[in-house]
């Protein structure tokens, strides 16, 4: 079945007021947090493929999203980057859709319209964008999660889950149009973004994945054990954070002062104080230089 630019496998399953969980690469998937999270959920619920873009080359520049060569039964084959949709049924509660989206380089409006058509055809109740970003936050505090929702009920749930309202303004992705236009189609929307320390970067950040999974478990009444399955990896990475930071303090005594400022800024954001403690431009430049140094090591 063709819906805009997407081809859906036949027969299209009848889903019970599904919630769509989406990730967007590479815009808000640093540390592969969203990718790890969806893979975790798909494995747990036994997700099945539902569809993908029929001609991804209409939207993506393959010199930026590179195809990869792999072996299948002794033969070399090419895997083409694509946006894919999977689904899973839940014995209790709403069914789930998993959207692995790539940021489009071309025909973005057609791409967004096609996603919205899929959401409408499958009668999606809620569209949730999951992701991660680097921020000037300290490793010594619980990871901050910010979010936004399209109605008061969802905002209340975010508050209960200790999600901080997002106050971000600035450059964004064209995919934000999904969250802007979906409510006009009767689809609720929300976003959940976990903030990772910009001076300590990991290819696969399980600390971020565990923190975001914990929020999802609260919002969707998922088994709490889901948030604990990668807890050991998250603890190992937290220990690594501490060791690297202690080493940095020895090499750069100024880092202790920087860390204290980061903690003060974090506490102000969490407590939603009217006057936040702002980092000076010199401190922000120092953090960026420090992050580059650790990344090279």
User: Has residue 273 been placed in a domain?
Assistant: no
Phi, psi of 188 (to 5 degrees): -70, 150
User: Has residue 267 been placed in a domain?
Assistant: no
Task: Report, as an integer, the average pLDDT of 189-202.
Answer: 89
Which percentage of the chain shows pLDDT scores above 70?
Answer: 91
User: Above 90 in pLDDT, residue 294?
Assistant: no
Task: Report, as an integer, the average pLDDT of 268-293.
Answer: 57
CA–CA separation, 188 and 202 (whole Å): 33
Label residue 195 exposed, middle or buried (CB < 10 Å: 0-12, 13-18, 19+).
Answer: buried
What average pLDDT is seen over the chain?
Answer: 88
pLDDT at 285: 61
Task: Report, as an integer, the average pLDDT of 264-275.
Answer: 70
User: Has residue 274 been placed in a domain?
Assistant: no
User: Has residue 250 been placed in a domain?
Assistant: no
Domain with 49, as residue range(s), is 2-230
pLDDT at 273: 43
Q: What is the pTM of this model?
A: 0.85
Considering Cα of 247, then 251, then 255, then 256, what sign does the dihedral take? positive
User: Has residue 25 been placed in a domain?
Assistant: yes
User: Has residue 260 been placed in a domain?
Assistant: no
Domain count, the chain: 1
Phi, psi of 166 (to 5 degrees): -80, 135
Torsion, Cα of 176, 182, 188, 189 (10° steps): -10
pLDDT at 248: 75
User: Has residue 142 been placed in a domain?
Assistant: yes
Q: Range with the lowest mean pLDDT among 128-137, 187-196, 236-245?
A: 236-245
pLDDT at 129: 97
128-175: pLDDT as tens digits: 999 999 988 888 888 999 999 999 999 999 988 989 888 888 888 999
Task: Report, as an integer, the average pLDDT of 92-120.
Answer: 96
Q: Which CATH number does the domain housing residue 49 bear?
A: 3.40.50.10900
User: Has residue 285 been placed in a domain?
Assistant: no
């Amino acid at each position: 079945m063709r819906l805009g630019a997407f081809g859906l496998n036949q027969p299209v399953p009848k889903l019970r007021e599904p919630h769509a969980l989406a990730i967007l690469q590479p815009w808000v998937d640093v540390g592969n947090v969203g990718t790890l999270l969806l893979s975790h959920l798909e494995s747990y619920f036994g997700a099945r493929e539902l569809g993908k873009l029929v001609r991804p080359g209409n939207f993506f520049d393959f010199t930026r999203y590179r195809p990869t060569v792999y072996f299948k039964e002794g033969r070399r084959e090419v895997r083409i980057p694509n946006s894919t949709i999977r689904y899973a049924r839940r014995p209790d509660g709403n069914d789930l859709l998993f959207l692995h989206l790539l940021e489009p380089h071309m025909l973005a409006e057609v791409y967004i319209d096609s996603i919205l058509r899929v959401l409408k055809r499958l009668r999606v109740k809620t569209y949730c964008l999951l992701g991660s970003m680097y921020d000037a936050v300290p490793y010594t505090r619980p990871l901050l999660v910010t979010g936004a929702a399209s109605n008061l009920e969802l905002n209340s749930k975010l508050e209960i889950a200790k999600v901080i309202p997002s106050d971000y303004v600035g450059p964004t992705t064209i995919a934000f149009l999904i969250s802007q236009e979906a409510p006009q189609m009767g689809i609720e929307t929300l976003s959940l973004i976990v903030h990772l320390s910009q001076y300590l970067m990991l290819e696969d950040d399980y600390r971020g994945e565990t923190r975001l999974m914990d929020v999802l478990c609260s919002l969707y009444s998922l088994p709490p054990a889901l948030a604990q399955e990668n807890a050991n990896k998250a603890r190992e990475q937290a220990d690594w954070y501490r060791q690297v930071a202690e080493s940095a303090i020895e090499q750069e005594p100024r880092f202790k002062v920087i860390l204290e400022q980061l903690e003060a800024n974090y506490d102000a954001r969490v407590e939603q104080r009217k006057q936040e403690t702002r980092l000076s431009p010199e401190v922000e430049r120092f953090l960026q230089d420090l992050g580059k140094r650790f990344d090279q090591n």
